[in-house]
Amino acid sequence: NAGVTQTPKFQVLKTGQSMTLQCAQDMNHNSMYWYRQDPGMGLRLIYYSASEGTTDKGEVPNGYNVSRLNKREFSLRLESAAPSQTSVYFCASSEYNREYYGYTFGSGTRLTVV
């Protein structure tokens, strides 16, 4: 089925460890996004890539880095995990400047930092 695939689905990290969250979409979308979802905070944009070859900071980029590997793939890296990064992470994609068609979201990665 066409869509956005995120891996892993669950992860537990120790403080200071690093990891990369993977995201791939097969809808030929140009734009991709990483969000975190926390109770009472809604969805907060971490980083986005409007098109292949570009990345930009969102609302809460500190502690994260991203790589737009190609048109399909957009990864999120935590270099030194902190308990404050415990959250559910969602990747999404859309057509460039056609977001009125809606975003397509992955099923999420539940990350716990202890």
Q: What is the separation, in whole angstroms, between the first and last Cα of the chain?
A: 35
DSSP state at residue 101? G
Given candidates 21, 24, 34, 48, which one binds another protein under the rule CB under 8 A? Answer: 48
Binding pattern for the stretch 60-99 against another protein, x by CB under 8 A and - elsewhere: ------------------------------x-x---xx-x
Q: In terms of CB distance, is 14 or 39 closer to another protein?
A: 39
Please work out the total of residues on this chain that contact another protein, with binding judged by CB under 8 A: 24
50 binds another protein (CB under 8 A): yes
- Between the alpha carbon of residue 67 and those of residues 20, 29, 49, 83, 90, the distances in Å are 10, 16, 9, 23, 15
29 binds another protein (CB under 8 A): no
53 binds another protein (CB under 8 A): no
| 34: CB partners within 8 A, 6+ apart | 21, 23, 45, 46, 47, 48, 58, 64, 66, 74, 76, 89, 90, 91
Residues that bind another protein (CB under 8 A): 4, 31, 35, 40-43, 45, 48, 50, 58, 90, 92, 96-97, 99-100, 102-108
